[in-house]
Structure 1
Amino acid sequence: MLAVGTRKGLFLARSRGGGPFEVEPVRFSTIAVHSVAVDTRRDTPRLLAGIEYGHFGPSVMWSDDLGETWHEAGTPPVAFPERTGAALARVWQLQPSPTEPDVVWAGAEPAALFRSEDRGETYSLVEGLWDHPTRPQWQPGNGGLCLHTIVPHPDDPKSIAIAASAVGFFRSDDGGLTWYPSNRNIRAPFLPEGAQYPEWGQCVHKVAHHPARPERLYLQHHFGVYRSDDFGASWTDIGSGLPSDFGFPIAVHPDDPDTLWVFPLHGDVDRTPVGHRYQVFRSEDAGSTWQGHSTGLPEGPVHAAVLRDAMAAGPAGVFFGTRDGEVYGSRDDGETWTQIARHLPDVLCVRAAVL
């Protein structure tokens, strides 16, 4: 199954027996779907969708019948305690825990982490991150003050990491009670000389991780692409072989922690595909070298970007969606591509799962 969240609804696509994907009619028509999760931890999969009603605001819906019917908690499922003085702007990320069967994490705007213990139906604020002493100095990126990535350790429920823009990468070793920034060796070149490696205040665009090698992380930054081999304690620049190290999404191969994909853009003002061609760049050696692949993609000129959550890799292949409503997939690790959908609204997020 492919789940595609757009500016005006959720689109599900299914492939049977390795055949072509068939796109189903829109769910949540006219409603923005900023985040999607396909929770396969039980025999009955659960779909989760972080939606934004134009009038009523953001919420989280769930479905236990593959999108046929949807449910919402009787009270707002994601809400800030009154003492924070904050109002929920958007749910940017929904992430089932790999170690706790009923736990789902939600990343929100303004940058906050929420935890659910009922499979994503209701959530409570992780106050340790909200009360971090650096919070008063946090600044939003162009997309807002958004917590867009959640990385729970696949073996240790006490270890979890998040990324927020433009805040940086933060870790917790005690299940979210306390947090510390972890951005060592990440460069922010817009800052003055001598101050270009700040402890926090980094514009991280997306982080990808590999469950078979928990310490291996990949990070797409506003000004570079990085790898960590110690769960974010330190980072190494791996963007030198790319035509541009600016971009938003980053994805890692489900079976090979050394294989990853990025989608370079002209940065950071233009934000269109490099050369005005759709090209997905793949590394098979953990970022030491890169190769661009575009077979099956439009030759151009094209001008639409791929957003931070609009690329996904899984057992069924690697997929991405564009801001002009096109969705592409590859079943050969990005060597060749096939168009799955076109003329959709602006694609905000993509998730893939084998059910």
Structure 2
Amino acid sequence: MLRRLFTLLVVAALGLAATGTAVAAGGGHRHRADLSVQGGSVTLSGTTLAGSFRVKAKRSARAKATTAALHVRAGGRDVVAGSFAVKAVRPGRTRTVSVSVPLPASLPAGPAQLVACADEGRRLRERSETNNCRAVGTITVPTVSSVPNDPIAFEPDTVLQLSSGVTDYWLTVPPSYDASHQTPTTLFVWLHGCGGEGRYDIYDVSPGGAAQSWIALSVGGTEGGCWDVDTDGAKVSAAIASVKTHFNIDPRAVVLGGYSSGGDLAYRTAFYDARSFAGVLAENTSPFRDTGSSASQSIAAASWRFNVVQLAHLQDDTYDIATVRQETGVLEAAGFPVTLVERPGKHYDAGTVPDLQSVLLPYLRAGWRAPA
């Protein structure tokens, strides 16, 4: 009798322990943060998307700092117009996100939906991942001619410093450019590496004279520092939108390029707004490792398989050649036209800029075209 009573007590204790564990596990799930977009309004004014939306943390738990984003959905495409840092949100409280970003280039004309997402890239472990996004407006994307509406005076082969309203940028115009602004021209957008400056890098991508058939643009906004791959894409988009108001840019012949950290941002921007770009020219970087987006996420985001030329240096101890080979191999297996060029050299040395000029820049004459 005593043995049976002891057995029953042990079984009951084990049952209570299992129930407690289940409650704890369930309670842990219930107390995860849960962010959502509560509402907002964003409209199109000229070529600028402006307004705001509200991000709320449900009462379950405090939400750590994260990134929100505004998407434009048009003609079967989903393009991120801008990313925004969101500070930590206490339970039950909201934060207002202000929006003022250019309308992404190369969107199809017609109706479009604006969608705000509270935790872009799913950085947080949330109670629910299905309630992050909400529509905050509808717009009509206008049919836009590439002829600039605010042409400016220029001297060929002379560096111009301009402002997008978001950041400064530097550009050069080749002698072959049609001064009447009636002929569309290739645009090469260059992003410097950590410690670099756009005002100096513009000279590296502007050989000038007959050797240059493209408008070169070097984006500023993080002079002397590194790019933030989660938020600085807006600086790139703003610079491109700005230069299109001054010069006739072929919307299907915009090529992104970057060195090191700039290459990271070039890849990230191209994957998530692929139809705006004909290709990527990258030096001493890698397609995924430091882009804030995994290989599967980036490839899934790309709406077309754009052209890629990756220049790597064999003694680079920042982006080792084994990783570069592996990641470009993944890109190629996914159907991207990839050219990997390997050269002797370190991450930065006397050959870095000459190799950029002799290996990468000639591809700007390859006739790459983004989809119509």
The two structures have a TM-score, normalised by structure 1, of 0.28
Larger % of strand: which? 1
Larger % of helix: which? 2
The two structures have a TM-score, normalised by structure 2, of 0.27
